[in-house]
């Protein structure tokens, strides 16, 4: 996704609000200048927004910093909160009458768990949105396109995770994917990146025993700017499942023709315009690619 006119301001706020509370007062001016400098040089029309996010984050954030320690604690609590709801969520998914509906329910819950705010979180995530969906609340996830057919057609799936805690609900989707037959490679962060999931968070939910391969990226997975190993994994995949706002910004319009299923809560006006879904709603959206299926295929 290319930057909208407001993306630089939003990204400045997203990074600064997460780092500033854990930065000593006398270091704040320099931290702010470094972040501004990264964005002033980086916000150009052709930049990939996921790549720009990485540039902004690494200009001010260190994996061993007080901010990183804070987010590791928040992640542990979010994982525990997610685990308390997983049994209920799994029962909801498995009670669906058809395999199609099971996949749609699982993807909807995974998308609804994408609750990280654009400003700094005030505490661990509790995922009450999941309970509301299971109980039949009004704002059910919007499913756009035939995601079931896309998975049925796939042989190698690349699943890009987002935050800790919510990765527990990704396990519901991945379990169904594996039952449908394709191999699944799961991508998490290789080191602390605010509240994003790392290998330790995936292992908390035993995901390393479910997926065929677990790989790491140092920031948002921008297809043109990853390691040779990750580039090979991307090239070999024939379907992408992509979680969260940052990964939507990294992949939307930049999948190199591969079909992609995006799962996220719409948190800003540019993505609302891109998806056609109002801000605040949860969406599971198939981008079928140039040769993929369209419509709902029912």
229-256, pLDDT tens digit by residue? 999 999 999 999 999 999 999 999 889 9
For the chain, the domains span: 67-287
User: Could you tell me what percent of the chain has a pLDDT over 70?
Assistant: 97
Residue 290, judged by CB atoms within 10 A of its CB (0-12, 13-18, 19+), counts as exposed
Question: pLDDT tens for residues 136-194?
Answer: 987 899 999 999 999 999 999 999 999 999 999 999 999 999 999 999 999 999 999 99
Nearest to 266 by CA among 252, 148, 297: 252
Angle, CA of 207, 162 and 27, to the nearest 5°: 125
Name which residue leads in pLDDT, 43 or 74.
74
Contact (Cβ atoms closer than 8 angstroms) between residue 102 and residue 149: no
pLDDT at 37 over 90: yes
Residue 295 has pLDDT above 50, yes or no: no
Task: Give the C-alpha distances (Å, rounded to integers) separating 129 from 85, 147, 235, 280.
Answer: 11, 22, 35, 12
Q: Which of 35, 21, 68 is nearest to 164 (CA)?
A: 68
Model confidence, pTM = 0.94
Task: Classify residue 256 as left (phi > 0), alpha (psi -120 to 50) or beta.
Answer: left
CA distances from 138 to 81, 134, 188, 268 (A): 23, 11, 32, 21
> Is it the case that residue 298 has pLDDT exceeding 50?
no
**Under CATH, to which class is 67-287 assigned?**
alpha beta
Inform me whether the pLDDT recorded for 291 exceeds 70: no
Averaged pLDDT, 93-101: 98
pLDDT at residue 44 above 90? Answer: no
Which residues face 50 on adjacent strands? none
Average pLDDT over residues 31-45: 91
Which has the closest alpha carbon to 255: 281, 291, 279?
A: 291
Q: Looking at residue 297, what is its pLDDT?
A: 39
The predicted model gives 208-212 an average pLDDT of 97
pLDDT at 296 over 50: no
What's the mean pLDDT when you consider all of the chain? 93
């Amino acid at each position: 996704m290319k930057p909208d006119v407001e993306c630089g301001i939003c990204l400045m706020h997203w990074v600064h609000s997460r780092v500033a509370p854990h930065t000593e007062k006398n270091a704040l001016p320099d931290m702010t200048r470094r972040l501004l400098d990264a964005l002033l040089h980086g916000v150009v029309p052709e930049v990939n927004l996921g790549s720009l996010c990485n540039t902004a984050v690494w200009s001010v954030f260190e994996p061993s910093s007080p901010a990183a320690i804070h987010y590791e604690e928040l992640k542990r609590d979010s994982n525990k909160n997610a685990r308390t709801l997983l049994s209920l969520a799994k029962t909801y998914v498995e009670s669906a009458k058809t395999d199609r509906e099971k996949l749609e329910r699982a993807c909807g819950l995974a998308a609804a768990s994408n609750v990280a705010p654009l400003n700094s979180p005030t505490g661990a995530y509790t995922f009450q949105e999941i309970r509301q969906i299971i109980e039949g609340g009004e704002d059910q996830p919007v499913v756009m396109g035939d995601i079931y057919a896309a998975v049925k057609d796939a042989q190698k799936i690349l699943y890009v995770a987002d935050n800790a805690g919510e990765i527990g609900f990704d396990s519901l989707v991945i379990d169904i994917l594996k039952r449908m037959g394709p191999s699944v490679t799961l991508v998490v962060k290789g080191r602390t990146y605010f509240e994003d999931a790392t290998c330790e968070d995936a292992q908390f939910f035993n995901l390393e025993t479910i997926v065929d391969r677990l790989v790491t990226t140092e920031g948002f997975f921008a297809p043109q700017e990853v390691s040779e190993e990750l580039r090979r994994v991307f090239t070999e995949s024939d379907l992408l499942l992509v979680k969260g706002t940052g990964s939507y910004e990294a992949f939307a319009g930049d999948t190199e023709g591969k079909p992609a299923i995006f799962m996220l809560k719409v948190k800003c006006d540019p993505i609302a315009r891109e998806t056609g879904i109002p801000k605040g709603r949860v969406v599971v959206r198939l981008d079928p690619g140039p040769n993929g299926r369209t419509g709902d295929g029912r």
